[in-house]
A and B are shown apart, each in its own frame.
Chain A
Amino acid sequence: MLLLIRAAALSSLIVLAACGADPAPGPVEQIIVREPGAAAAVASAEAPADALLAEGKAAFANCTACHTLEEGAPNGVGPNLFGIVGAGAGEVAGFAYSDALKGSGITWTATELDSFIADPAAKIPGTTMVAGAIADAAKRQAVIAYIDSVTAN
């Protein structure tokens, strides 16, 4: 019998609530920092580079599933990326690269990295980097700037 009452109570939720219910309470306090699409209030004019690096750092969070970035940190599923900008492809010690990447002869300039991250398998067919492609060009630029900045520091 208890079950029955519960079932009835559940269905009455719908029925009773169906008409004239008061809307749930709105905000007690609403701070609107900016509208979507508007420029950030913390203007990037004073430190455009910082904003780019912050964006790159946030975006790099996705990469950390496979890559470390700190100097001397161990390789993960992918190689450690400290100092990768300007380095030759397949040169990080202790990482088992695909033959394709190792033999590519690429030097990782920002431009080369950009096209690789956009679509790794297209750039180097046979690479073991099967995840982590970044379609958004601005995001790629930010990530590369961030990686480079860590080395520079």
Chain B
Amino acid sequence: MGKWSRRAFIGAGVTAGGALIVGVAVRQGNPIDELGPLLANGENEQLLNAWVKVDTDNVVTAVIPHVEMGQGVHTALAQMLADEMDADWNKVQILEAPADMQYVSDSIGRDFLFPNLQVPALLEPTVAGGILELAQAMGLQFTGGSYSVRATGQRAMRTAGAAAREMLVAAAASEWQVPESEITAADSMVIHARSGKSEPFAAFARAAAEQSLPAKPKLKSPDNYKIMGQPMARHDIPAKVDGSAIFGIDADVPGMKYAAVKAPPVIGATVESMNASTAKTMPGVLQILNMGDFVAVVADSYWLAQQALNSIDTRYSKTEGDGLDQDAIFARYAAALDEAGEDGGDTQTEAGDAVQSFAEAATKVEAEYTVPFLAHATMEPMNCTAWVRDGKCDVWSGHQAPVNARQAAADAAGLAFEDVTYHNGYLGGGFGRRSDNDAIIMATRIAKATGYPVKMIWSREEDTAQDHYRPSATSRFKGGLDKDGKLVSWDNIHTHLFDPADAPTVPYYNIASHKIRKVDVPMHLRFGPWRSVDHSQHGFFIESFVDEMADAAGKDGYAFRRELLAESPRHLKVLDTAAKMSGWGNALPEKHGRGIAFVPSFGSIVAQVAEVDMSGPKPKVTKVYVAADPGFVVNPDGFTAQMESGIVYGLTAALYGDITLKDGAVQQSNFHDYRMLRIDEMPEVEVALINGDHERLGGGGEPGLPPIAPAVTNAIFAATGKRIRALPIAKHDFA
């Protein structure tokens, strides 16, 4: 990366990710021409630019380079494009982009340049952010990191819509021989009020493609938004209600057979031998495969394949992970942290002198927190259908990075990228799990061995035991208060760092001296992003410790955080809103408690207040108040749903989530021992939305999650005086 100068990178990066597809008209000689056949349904369709298509019947199709996994992103991104384009929302269709390199246009490392194109103003600034967002969200056609709306939407969909509108207006001006400035657009029509002329967009689609590309399409200011900011109904919901939605697992290929798979319980082991003498005689069985790193049975139905698989006696190789138990893992963390001491480990951020200020502090607090491994437990089991024949390969699944999946299938089949067609369905839950390629590779290898199409489905047991887990972690804090109870020293060291890098940091809290370090502890398990990634651990660590410091200062958690945020009015407003909604300070019944937590993540600021009822044998979370500022809320209904679902997922983990190891293998197997939150345990959730900065948007998919665990444990402390320093909550006794 070092060789890219800022200017050169922006040129190439933006060329790759945004500008070149955004607003580029399709015409002869332009590489994007190759996209035409992929997106067009007929000869009369005109591909205006890569993110938008105008049909002869005046239907505007927003081509969305992100996958839909329940987060509502197809609708939100289409809103952003349609609003800038002045399209008729009722005639907007949504098409998920094909998994195609031309579409993705990742020119970092690829010679893919469009000459003579200026970069839209919107794409120029925010160097660091721009690189990351373009590379991740567009370059990989990747859906995750809560990036879709804030990166693709804000930088690409809006620009594409605005560019399309300007080109349509220019075409109309040319045809009508009137100045562009006299032409307006509304509801997918171009209008010249003075002469009374108006025509649908479609009338000028072809002529618009001949117009010069606007270098800097003018974007609307928020007071002119008509579709953005409105709770438009999600496009994917009707099909999900009537059952016609096609998820990855619904792939239906003529002649398709089914595979069940089992990998060694200790990750990293290989299959040494298998005894399939019974399986061979079982009904429906076609093939039994020892793939080295897993065993597969191919049969006429999934059930028959799984039954035969269950009868196979398999021996596995020894690995480093053998013999490793749960307690030993946390002992390893403790040893690594002990060894790092006061100065060891990798320093992530440092200001002032944390050691000195702690030594001089009037009040000193030390605490250690732990969180467990977590599985994703997507509702749709892991699956992939593949067909490898005649030098070609077709793959069907639901994946967060379709281009990556296509490449993984190509590698597994020994074919070129171009020889693989990847078909993406809806994702029945992603949460980061479906950004890994393991299922894609396994299915492709099986299909290559059989020669006919095979749908591989993992059992829930396999899913639970073979996940790419959210890492467990231990975090230690030393905090110091001055004689007035002001937090002046913050020293944190923790195990593991995955992503994003800012997760353990607290730049929004005004603390004079701080030092934040990490140590790495090798583990044989595979790790993967899990909704909100490192914020899921550090949100709990940080907000628990802030609460402990507040208690040591003799202040309540809300007042203490107010002081720390005194110089950050935007943050303060979010905190104040949540506190006010909850009636913070009002008396609660006996054995009830209220807890507050505040975690900015993925560009959005979120505060939550949880209320718990501790009068029963176990905690009952009764109510959660959420205040969130993602800059600007594109779809209030969708964003609110994301806050709520972040709480469902995060509360499940906080209360119950606990993947444990015995002798190197995961002990949990299904929902009886890996509990989900049940409907009677769901708190009432009230969400307030704040539009604090319409220029820089934050994400929605993840930021609702990190505050819930500490809000609940802080509430339990308020109700009982018992401080939860190790998740999940279920392993603590409240009797």
Contact = CB atoms under 8 A, between A and B. Distances in A.
Interface of A: 1-8, 10-15, 17-18, 21-36, 40-42, 51, 54, 58, 61
A10 B501 contact: no
A25 B414 CA distance: 10
B62 to A, nearest CB: 25
Interface string B21-52: 00000000000000000000000000000000
B301 interface: yes
B104 to A, nearest CB: 8
Contact of A11 (B106, B289, B290, B410): B106
B411 interface: yes
Given A3-B132, A14-B404, A32 B287 contact: yes
A95 to B, nearest CB: 26
Given A2-B501, A3-B499, A5-B1, A26 B448 contact: yes
Contact of A58 (B135, B255, B304, B501): B304
Interface centre among B135, B444, B499 (most CB of A within 10 A): B135
Given A25-B292, A31-B276, A36 B257 contact: yes
A75 to B, nearest CB: 24
B140 to A, nearest CB: 6
B417 A18 contact: yes
Given A29-B290, A30-B287, A31-B287, 16 more contacts: A2-B501, A4-B131, A7-B136, A12-B109, A14-B140, A15-B109, A21-B411, A23-B414, A26-B291, A26-B448, A30-B290, A31-B276, A31-B289, A33-B287, A42-B283, A61-B303
Interface string B486-528: 0000000000010111000000000000000000000000000
8 contacts: A2-B499, A8-B1, A14-B106, A15-B108, A15-B109, A31-B289, A33-B288, A41-B281
A71 to B, nearest CB: 25
Across the A-B interface, give the 4 residue pairs with the lowest CB-CB distance, nearest first. Answer: A23-B414, A29-B290, A15-B109, A24-B412
A23 B447 CA distance: 13
B449 A51 contact: no
A100 B448 CA distance: 53
Contacts of A23: 411-415, 448
Contacts of A25: 291-293, 445
B441 interface: yes
A31 B450 CA distance: 10
Contact of A32 (B131, B286, B499): B286
Nearest to B274: A29
Contacts of B413: 23
B131 A26 contact: no
Contacts of A4: 1, 128, 131-132
Q: Which label, helix, strand, loop or mixed, suits the secondary structure of the B interface?
A: mixed
A7 B501 contact: no
B406 to A, nearest CB: 9
A1 B501 contact: yes
A18 B411 CA distance: 8
A115 to B, nearest CB: 24
Contacts of A36: 255, 257, 286, 452
Nearest to B409: A24
A18 B120 CA distance: 30
B280 interface: yes
A35 B291 contact: no
A6 B529 CA distance: 13
Interface string B435-456: 0000001001100110010000
Contacts of B408: 17
Contacts of A42: 281, 283
Interface in B392-433: 403-404, 407-408, 410-415, 417
B504 to A, nearest CB: 11
B284 to A, nearest CB: 8
Contacts of A35: 286
A15 B140 CA distance: 11
B286 A10 contact: no
Nearest to B128: A4
